[in-house]
Amino acid sequence: MSFGWPVLSPLGAQEPAAAPAAQPAAKCAECAPCAGAAATAPLAGCAAPLKEVVAAYQRAHEDFGRWAEKKSLEVQKIFDKEDGLKKKIQDNSTEINELKFKAGKADKKRLKELESENKGLWKELNGIAREKKDFCKSLSKEAPGQVRELNKGVELKLKESLQQAVE
């Protein structure tokens, strides 16, 4: 038993760790069925109206997924902007360091311009950090409301289905 540590042969050479056993496809389907997989048997009798609840759950799941993807795209724009600023700051810093070793007037002027630009970029970068924090905070407040709204639709379908089942 290796407990995840590398196994050494008697000669001290490292042996590759054994690969985990692959699960058969049928066993995987048991554990985590694919999203959108059809039910194995149709609902019968008084359970038949519950198929509307199942459909409502699936729609709610898809709607929440679309909402989450939209939010993900919004936050990705913030991260992309942050990455661009970091790269620009890094490029400017590299050029600043190169210019410090040159003695020309134009070099000193360019050096001041870059230092001033970097100062502004750092302010903007700090603003983005606040923007990310605010976005994530609003997302954490918005998500439960989104789920509640979607659940209202599912609960409404459940009430209607239960009413049909008793009739």
Q: DSSP string spanning 19-42?
A: PPPPPPHHHHHHHSPPTTPPPSS-
Residues 57-101: pLDDT tens digits? 999 999 999 999 999 999 999 999 999 999 999 999 999 898 888
The whole-number pLDDT of residue 32 equals 53
CB 89 within 8 A of CB 121: yes
Q: State the angle between helix axes of 105-166 and 51-99 in degrees (0 to 180), rounded to the nearest 10.
A: 170
pLDDT > 90 in the chain, percent: 50
Q: What is the pLDDT of residues 89-110, one digit of tens each?
A: 999 999 989 888 887 888 888 8
Q: What is the pTM assigned to this prediction?
A: 0.62
Using alpha carbons, select from 28, 67, 37, 48 the residue that is nearest to residue 149. Answer: 67
- For residues 156 and 162, what is the distance between their CA atoms, to the nearest angstrom? 10
CA angle 129, 132, 138 (to 5 degrees): 140
Under the banding of pLDDT at 50, 70 and 90, the label for residue 9 is very low
Nearest to 39 by CA among 60, 55, 17: 55
Give the pLDDT confidence of 27-41 residue by residue, as tens digits: 555 555 555 555 557
Higher-pLDDT residue of 17, 133: 133
Average pLDDT over the chain, rounded to whole?
81
pLDDT in tens, 126-156: 999 999 999 999 999 999 999 999 999 999 9
C-alpha torsion angle, residues 153, 159, 165, 167 (rounded to 10): -130
Cα–Cα nearest to 161, from 60, 57, 65, 41: 57
